[in-house]
């Protein structure tokens, strides 16, 4: 799809028309005769009139616009028309998101590739000034980042293991003039990152620690570390997942993929922030060399961890990566981590919402506000003193699972808190994206599979710093 911004009537093949508040303003008789009422996700093509009508029940809600536009672009894609115009008086970025995200498909593994020409889409606005042009370009950069994240997550685990993830990071660094460090298992060993190392031990793929850095041309006002769980596959390890739960665990790299996605867009946004993207790329497998329940691991900060379940591996990888970020980067203002960390988070808040955790209630709420503004559902999952006791260990400093069945998203978040230095307690947010990162059916303008969760919420937060 080619997106163009225009002020003129372009004479495109088709016009896309949003019917707002169920008020049909043109072709009313015809639309009524075919039963079109303008409900959300309702869409008709009138081929002879060369018009696509789509419902947008709540035009004040940006999500409603995005869903309408996404529905229309899918309709257009089912035809041989080559171009379309859509008018946007305001909310330009919502139109762009609806088009760019709604148009996404993942066809890498289809042996017959669709040979239809790329569509030309013209967004017709009243005038184009510097601000509009900037909004246009930035929104496309953000959508490209979301779609890149989806591509990573959707790729099969045998085609996307830690070394490939590292290569993708190097590519992003080259294209965006970022610094890039790829640290191997020797580094992890020398630096006491034994929790992360243990998780990857039974895999034929060596673990990688990825560290990308963006430094702005202007003086940075804030220094931010983004840490991502990059489990390129999570079989559960010796605490093996049941067959039905293992399917889709290629998506356990979603946190790390979101971090790479964010880093791919950050230079296009030209913000006065220094951003570090750190990804623990690891595969959790079984084998004679696998780490075991009953093992005790010593993390980078010296904390000893009793392993009671090898499927609670993400927190082990993140523990060392969070320590790395705080040891290697001085004077951080914010530390965010992104992870498909717990099934409990999905049970608690459903598939479409991320769980936001941390010690700083105000920061949690501020982050959620920006997330909702960006079109990503998120809610706070508060820590408490009682659940904190459930991850105590009899033989080590801490256990990698709680002794209760309930509140698993929160206990996982509080496990991570053990690896946040006192001076950083208020600067850290943990984002459990286990629900929205990967859904095996399409929802709104998100296609089946990966959604790129974490990317838009974070960029919206950065823009508002
Ligand atoms: N990657 C999973 C969490 C997950 C589950 C993500 C479903 C997406 C969808 C994580 O590593 C895991 O297995 N967590 C366990 C923790 C438990 C052993 C304490 C879980 O949620 O069951
Ligand atoms: Zn797991
Ligand atoms: Zn996992």
List pLDDT tens digits, range 30-86.
Answer: 999 999 999 999 999 999 999 999 999 999 999 999 999 999 999 999 999 999 999
Tokens of 369: 């506000």
Tokens of 137: 């370009």
User: Which residue of the set 74, 167, 241, 463 is catalytic?
Assistant: 241
Residue 135: phi, psi to the nearest 5? Answer: -60, -40
How confident is the model over 218-273, as pLDDT tens digits? 999 999 999 999 999 999 999 999 999 999 999 999 999 999 999 999 999 999 99
pTM of the entire predicted model: 0.98
**Cα gap 201→198, rounded to integer Å:** 5
For residue 315, indicate whether it is catalytic: yes
Instruction: Report the pLDDT value the prediction gives residue 10, as an integer from 0 to 100.
Output: 87
Residue boundaries of the structural domains of the chain: 2-128, 141-463
Tokens of 364: 């949690």
**Cα gap 266→251, rounded to integer Å:** 23
For residue 87, indicate whether it is catalytic: no
Strand partners for 44: 53
If you take atom 16 of ligand 1, which residue's CA is the nearest one?
A: 312
The 3-class secondary structure across 372-395, one letter per residue, is HHHCCEEEECCCCHHHHHHHCCCC
Among 24, 119, 32, CA closest to 81: 119
Instruction: Report the pLDDT value the prediction gives residue 117, as an integer from 0 to 100.
Output: 82
CATH code 3.90.1150.10 for 141-463:
no
If you take atom 8 of ligand 1, which residue's CA is the nearest one?
A: 434
Mean pLDDT, residues 125-140: 97
**Cα gap 115→117, rounded to integer Å:** 6
Residue 265 · residue 145 · CB < 8 Å: yes
Mean pLDDT, residues 328-335: 98
Whole-number mean pLDDT of the chain?
Answer: 98
How confident is the model over 172-222, as pLDDT tens digits? 999 999 999 999 999 999 999 999 999 999 999 999 999 999 999 999 999
Distance 419 CA to ligand 2 centre (A): 19
Topology of the domain comprising 2-128: 3.40.220
Instruction: Report the pLDDT value the prediction gives residue 113, as an integer from 0 to 100.
Output: 85
Instruction: Report the pLDDT value the prediction gives residue 62, as an integer from 0 to 100.
Output: 97
**Contacts for 251 with CB less than 8 Å, ≥ 6 apart:** 153, 340, 437, 438, 449, 450
Instruction: Report the pLDDT value the prediction gives residue 9, as an integer from 0 to 100.
Output: 87
> Strand (E) positions, 245-344?
273-284, 296-298, 304-306, 334-339
Percentage of the chain modeled with pLDDT above 90: 98
Would the pLDDT of 116 be above 80?
Answer: no
Q: Which residue has the tokens 């840490």?
A: 227
């Amino acid at each position: 799809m080619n997106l163009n911004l225009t002020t003129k009537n372009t004479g495109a093949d088709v016009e896309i028309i949003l019917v707002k508040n169920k008020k049909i303003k043109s072709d009313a008789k015809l639309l009524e005769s075919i039963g079109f009422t303008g409900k959300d996700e309702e869409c008709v093509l009138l081929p002879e009139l060369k018009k696509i009508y789509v419902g947008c029940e709540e035009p004040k809600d940006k999500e409603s616009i995005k869903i309408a536009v996404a529905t229309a672009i899918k309709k257009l894609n089912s035809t041989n028309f080559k171009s379309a115009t859509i008018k946007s008086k305001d909310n330009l970025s919502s139109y762009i998101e609806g088009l760019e995200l709604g148009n996404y498909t993942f066809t890498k593994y289809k042996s017959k590739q669709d040979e239809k020409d790329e569509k030309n889409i013209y967004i017709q606005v009243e005038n184009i000034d510097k601000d509009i042009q900037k909004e246009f370009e930035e929104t496309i950069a953000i959508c490209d980042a979301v779609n890149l994240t989806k591509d990573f997550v959707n790729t099969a685990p045998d085609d996307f293991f830690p070394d490939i993830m590292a290569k993708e990071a190097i590519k992003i660094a080259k294209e965006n003039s970022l610094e890039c460090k790829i640290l191997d298992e020797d580094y992890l060993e020398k630096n006491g990152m034994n929790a992360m190392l243990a998780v990857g031990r039974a895999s034929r793929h060596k673990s990688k620690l990825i560290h990308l850095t963006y430094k702005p041309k202007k003086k940075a006002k804030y220094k931010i570390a983004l840490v991502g769980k990059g489990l390129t596959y999570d079989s559960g390890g010796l605490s093996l997942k049941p067959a039905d739960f293992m399917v889709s665990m290629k998506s356990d790299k979603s946190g790390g993929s979101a971090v790479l996605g964010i880093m791919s867009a950050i230079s296009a946004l030209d913000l006065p922030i220094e951003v570090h993207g750190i990804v623990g790329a690891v595969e959790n497998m079984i084998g004679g060399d696998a780490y075991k329940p009953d093992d005790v691991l010593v993390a980078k900060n010296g904390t000893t961890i009793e392993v009671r379940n090898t499927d609670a591996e993400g927190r082990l990888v993140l523990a060392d990566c969070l320590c790395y970020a705080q040891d290697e980067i001085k004077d951080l203002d914010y530390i965010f981590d992104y992870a498909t960390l717990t099934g409990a988070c999905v049970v608690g808040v459903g598939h479409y919402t991320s769980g936001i955790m941390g010690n700083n209630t105000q920061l949690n709420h501020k982050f959620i506000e920006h997330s909702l503004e960006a079109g990503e559902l998120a809610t706070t999952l508060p820590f408490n003193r009682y659940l904190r006791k459930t991850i105590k260990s009899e033989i080590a400093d801490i256990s990698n699972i709680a002794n209760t069945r309930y509140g698993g998203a929160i206990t996982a978040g509080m496990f991570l808190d053990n690896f946040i230095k006192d001076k950083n307690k208020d600067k850290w947010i943990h984002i459990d994206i286990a629900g929205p990162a990967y859904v095996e059916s399409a929802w709104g303008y998100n296609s089946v599979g990966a959604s790129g969760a974490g990317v838009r919420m974070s960029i919206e937060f950065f823009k508002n710093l």
